[in-house]
Chain A
Amino acid sequence: MFDFFTGDNAVWFYAVPFAIFAPIYFSFVWHIGVKNLFYKDTAKIERKRLQSEHQERINKRRESKAGTRQREDHAATRPSKYWLAQGVAYGLFMTVVSVFATSPSYTYLGAGEAQIKLNLSHPGQRVEACVQRSKSELAELAPNMRSQMKCSRERAEIKLELDMDGQVLFRGTAVPAGFRRDGSSSFYEKFFISAGEHQITVRMNDGDPSKPFTHVLSQTVNVKPTQNLIVGFNENEHKFYFK
């Protein structure tokens, strides 16, 4: 049966954010102008009517007042040299548009360089080991909740190191995602290196930080210029890879 208050599809999970944010959102869009779609702004309509009446009066007066100086029509009376000047102005504008649309060029990666991208998203080991539930413990649970193993959700932080030719490129720790720290720990780093042969070593500890690294890979890799070398972790095979 659909449970309104517990489980992944609990109603409150959607209702609470909606109740908080919907009034804010609708109030915002209402006040910035949506209300004008529903309520006629009588003052604005009246102003438009007055403006149109006023314009009519002006037009009539202009027609009746022969000899009154009219506002100059700059376009109509403009000699050809001004059209030329306009052409120059448009040319200047378009030159500025065109030039900065593509230049100056930007060197993102120098000649003979390549990139290492360290990308990893891996759940650490559980902080507390799983324990077997006794029969009495299982009996107390609802039938659909009778899992044999009782496991804590929290995962360990992951410690990761990347070295190249004996030099440290990266050393860091990532905490598990989620409020309960039960998600994966992620790393995303990139490094520019010179192309050529390099000894690359990557190490990870996904459990107790006081113990040695749990996963290590060290290889000599021939990195080509402009290559994007991925250093990642294969979750199926539980080992690092260079690609």
Chain B
Amino acid sequence: MNVLTSIRIFIQNFFLRADKEYDRAFGPEWNPMRQLGTVAFYLYFVAAITGIIVYVFFETSVNGAYESVEYMTNEQWWFAGIMRSLHRYSSDGMVLTMSLHLIREWSFDRYRGVRWYAWFTGVMVIWLLYVSGLSGYWLVWDQLAQYVAIGSMEWLDLLGIFGEPVATNFLAEGSLNDRFFTLLVFVHIFGPLFLLFMMWIHVIRVSQPRINPPRGLAIGTLVALTVLSLVNPAVSHLKANLDVIPTELELDWYYMAFYPLFDAWGPGVMWAVAIGGSLFVMAMPWLPPMRQHEPAVVTLDKCNGCKRCYEDCPYGAIEMVPRSDGLPYEQEAVVDAALCTRCGICVGACPTSTPFRAEDELITGIDLVHLPLKGMRKMVDQAMQNATDGIVIVGCDHGQKVDNIAGAAAVKLPCVAHMPPSFIDYMISQGAKGVLVAGCPECGCRFRYGVQWMQDRLEGRRDPYLRKRVPRERIRTLWASPLDEQLLNDTVKTFKDELAVLSDHVSETENGDV
């Protein structure tokens, strides 16, 4: 295991632990650690709305800008001041949640394959967020604005695209005029508009994207921001004076962490860091190790165009097109390789994915190349032989550690919803005492809807259903974090005990004792 993998696993475990703790407080649906992207979207809208309100009070002139912001903070603190603080803290919160979102997706390796697009465009979102946020700081025109404005211009001047250094516009008092603030307002309005556009691009290829947090989480976040705005309102530095150099600055580190580095290293190094870092991050989805298998394939002879795979695919990778093979069905499924994550959820949805056939007939309408239905049945048959206590655990590659559970044998799939419910019927009818489906935590499925679809299939809410003849008391589900090893062991033990009681009861019934 190399250093990078160790770091990745360390961060992954941090998020898994946080998920677990936050699950206890918020429940899976409201868990903010699983809603980092939606919370960032939400904070954008909080910043946008409060920004419009603040603009009503703002004066776009060299002398009026600072005074108008001071008026908001001191005279109108009960409304405009709170709006200013909300505007500031929501934009800070956006950087924080966006950063956590990025680190989380990296640590869980969710940026390769089909996800490259969101990752790639996410870098542009970061740039636009910084343009939007920093241009807002200029508008206050205090010493912090002076520092940021001059630093930014010196940074841009290195490009040499301007006839004369633009930093000379900030040379001394009197260099600036009111038109400059009109320009700044323009930048601070159009920057966020472009940011919103890029955020839309960021999620455009996601099927059924979630951009709004659950209502409870949204309300809680807004209340918390308001409390913070009252307890610690945003304030300005002294008014900018270009003849005087600011000494101590209370930087907003979310947006300005690069400025001290700029002071220390100079503009050349910072351009190298910014451009080089961005290009590297954008290229990450294609850097080794590549872990892509072949996308799912459709076998037309077995596909009747029922659309279940089309409905269940969490990434919209399946299209229904007019029939091309002359069979008497209207449509057939086609897989878009660029969108397929190889999760196998479509295989679990296909009504022809049944193990109750001879081996040479084990062909389904849609299947994974690297783990076809035949392979799944072999794994299941093998697991049933190895399950000394008769319990088979169906797990996934990214969730709970289902290997090495005493008395039980594991079947590991890309996602638990890869397994059609008929396989559970098959296992019970072939002699398994019980089947435990152990997947990712609720709302924490690596493939978005795998846990939800599987639960719905087992409970008869979603096609294909688990057949009625299958005794429900022999099936158990556990949606938990990979860190919940004790919970998994306890669940298996309890399940084993319950199955033993059940077996005693059945044998007594068969013997006529009851």
Contacts and interface: CB of A to CB of B under 8 A. Distances in A.
Interface in A68-83: 68-69, 71, 74-75, 78, 82
B59 interface: no
A85 B320 CA distance: 47
A139 interface: no
B89 A97 contact: yes
B246 A109 contact: yes
B171 interface: yes
Contacts of A226: 244-247
A176 to B, nearest CB: 11
Indicate the size class of the contact surface on chain B.
35 or more
A189 to B, nearest CB: 10
Contacts, number: 157
A107 B143 CA distance: 13
Interface stretch (B24-32, B279-287, B400-408): B24-32
Indicate the size class of the contact surface on chain A.
35 or more
Contacts of A50: 307, 310-311
A20 interface: no
Contact of B245 (A43, A91, A108, A232): A108
Given A119-B168, A228-B242, A100 B247 contact: no
A62 B30 CA distance: 23
Contacts of B225: 94
Interface string A141-176: 000000000000000000000000000000000000
B25 A58 contact: no
A228 B244 contact: yes
Contacts of A110: 247
B461 A62 contact: yes
B247 A111 contact: yes
Contact of B171 (A32, A96, A119): A119
A58 B461 CA distance: 6
Contacts of B254: 100-101
A94 B227 contact: yes
Interface string B91-106: 0110010000000000
B22 interface: yes
B339 to A, nearest CB: 12
A85 B23 CA distance: 11
B295 to A, nearest CB: 17
Closest 9 A/B residue pairs (Cβ)? A74-B27, A85-B25, A90-B224, A188-B165, A102-B250, A94-B228, A100-B253, A109-B247, A121-B164
